[in-house]
Amino acid sequence: MSAPDPKQVFETLMVNARPQKQQNLRIMHEICAELHRLGSKDFSLATLGRMSEGRGGMSQRALYNATSGDFKVLIRTWANFASAGRVTAKSKPSGTQATDGDLLKKIGDPALRTLLGYIIAERDQLRSEVQVLKANTKVVINRRVLPGHINVTPQGQVVQVMSSAGLSDTEIQALTQAISPEFLQQEGWSEGPNGEILNRNGRKLFDIGFANAIRKAIMS
């Protein structure tokens, strides 16, 4: 498809613009037209902003602002127009599908034709941006087996529960035995209400949470 005519887009942008903005749009339009005549494909904001500022138009910094959308549309239109080139009636094969330019020429209302040209320029830019995103999208799936086991919360969050140092069956059995009531009674010990281990005199042998920590290690 051929790109819309930058002149039509320029005229549309000029309709409701204030005098100062019209002047800046005119300078930008003239710069883009000059670059096109010279065969340049460099329609970057940096280049055009620098040239515009040098001719008394919009500054390079202001061109990057969100409020400079109309200028960016005009620049993108020229960039697409320069990249596509002009398709003449002689070079266009017979029986081919009508281009955007052909469709625009069939619209009798100048205002409607200009507005459609503006929309086509925006569409072409969006297509270009989508292609760039597709080219730079890479999804990496990690299929390595994680240690421990996985729990999923009601909110859908995945939580990895790490296995305690990869205990063997023998080690788990030894820890289980160490806090079993039979073993504690045999040694004259007892477990306190907070997981501490006490001797027969009630003196604390292992601090609070000792037995609880072992149970968590065994169950993980």
Helical spans, DSSP H, in the chain: 6-15, 19-37, 45-54, 60-63, 69-84, 100-105, 110-135, 169-178, 181-186, 210-219
pLDDT band at residue 16 using 50, 70 and 90 as cut-offs:
confident
Residue that wins the pLDDT comparison between 132 and 201: 201
Nearest CA among 73, 84, 72, 90 for reference residue 36: 84
5-9, 104-108, 149-153, range with the lowest pLDDT: 149-153
Nearest CA among 82, 80, 84, 64 for reference residue 72: 64
Q: What angle do CA 107, 109, 114 make, to 5 degrees?
A: 80
**Does residue 11 register a pLDDT over 50?**
yes
Output the pLDDT for position 30: 94
Output the pLDDT for position 39: 86
Burial of 117 (0-12, 13-18, 19+ CB in 10 A): buried
pTM for this one? 0.42
Q: Residues 25-54: pLDDT tens digits?
A: 999 999 999 998 888 888 999 999 999 999
Average pLDDT over the chain reads 76
Burial of 175 (0-12, 13-18, 19+ CB in 10 A): middle
Highest mean pLDDT among 63-77, 109-123, 163-177: 63-77
pLDDT band at residue 86 using 50, 70 and 90 as cut-offs:
very low
Strand partners, 150: 160
pLDDT band at residue 84 using 50, 70 and 90 as cut-offs:
confident
Output the pLDDT for position 22: 94
Output the pLDDT for position 92: 45
Output the pLDDT for position 170: 81
Residue that wins the pLDDT comparison between 82 and 157: 82
Do strands 158-161 and 190-191 pair parallel, antiparallel, or not at all (unpaired)?
Answer: unpaired
